[in-house]
Amino acid sequence: MPRSTRERAGGVPEVVWVNGRAAGEVSALERGLHFGDGLFETIACAGGHARFLELHLRRLAAGCARLGLAAPDEAILRAEVQQLAAQSARAIVKVLLTRGAAASRGYGVTGLETSTRIALRYAWPPQDPELARAGVCVRIAALRLGENPALAGLKHCNRLEQVLARREWTDSGIAEALMFSSSGALISGTMSNVFLVRDGTLCTPRVDRCGVAGVMRQVVLAAAADAGIAAEERVLDLSDLQAAREVFLTNALIGIRPVRELEGRPLSPGGLTRRMQERLAPLLEARAVPEEAGDAG
């Protein structure tokens, strides 16, 4: 297995592997750099093991099929993530897969490209438990997401919409911004999926026109079904958000985080939010074991 390349702390990766090699190089012709032609996964690792790794690998493989990318050998990728996770009690592993260096100029694909696989490990400081208990403040982004069913659901490398939305605020007291699509549908946060409670039903926006189908979103929907809690994916708009009695965010790192304030409107973490947090707590611990490695957002 490759040697580790350690970097300074402070948001900088501790380890970087390119195609399984420490300190490997990325070509200046990389299509992921030029066009965002690739996919990525952000995986929470605790106790030396990755959370929900199988779900991450499954989503990555599905994304490769939709984009026509050569999927990496699953056994090799799994082993890399597991080795990176095993080296730290608590870490974030990010995996990027691109189409590779361009074989000719322009958007066209020649079929001669060779995929580039990048794995990075970051330190993951302990989270403030108060955020999960009391909740966070959230705003609504002015930027709208473009609707494109061909890319909907994918965690692809073109995140410019999220970058621009994140530039809209600098207040450290605001944790996230919710984003709507160009047609006015509620979709997600800049880095999270969103759930509402309406009339006793757990609702999350459909992501068939834009947005990311998050791994933690999938886990929450499955946990709700197992618990007999009514949950559904549906088209939601601003009126649904305004009428919601409970709102919470999910991604691979935060699990479930209640919203306590939305655009200045106070909200309280309600009974269904607390019930889902309780359901997920043992699942998160259970997924931090050797036989189930991996896990968004």
- pLDDT tens for 171-216 read 999 999 999 999 999 999 999 999 999 888 999 999 999 999 999 9
Mean of pLDDT over the chain: 92
Measure the CA–CA gap between 280 and 90, rounded to whole angstroms: 18
pLDDT above 60: residue 3 = no
Q: pLDDT value at position 127?
A: 87
Q: pLDDT value at position 206?
A: 98
The residue behind tokens 């990325």 is 26
Residue type, 205: P
**DSSP single-letter state for residue 147:** P
Measure the CA–CA gap between 281 and 256, rounded to whole angstroms: 9
Q: Which domain holds residue 207?
A: 129-286
Boundary-marking domain end, from 123, 149, 179:
123
- pLDDT tens for 63-106 read 999 999 999 999 999 999 999 999 999 999 999 999 999 999 99
Number of domains in the chain: 2
Measure the CA–CA gap between 136 and 257, rounded to whole angstroms: 7
Measure the CA–CA gap between 59 and 36, rounded to whole angstroms: 18
Residues 41 and 133 in one domain: no
CA 42 from centre of chain: 6
pTM of the model: 0.91
Of the ranges 6-15, 16-25, 118-127, 185-194, which is most confident?
185-194
Residues 175 and 277 in one domain: yes
- Helix, strand, or coil (residue 281): helix
Boundary-marking domain end, from 123, 155, 176:
123
Residues 95 and 152 in one domain: no
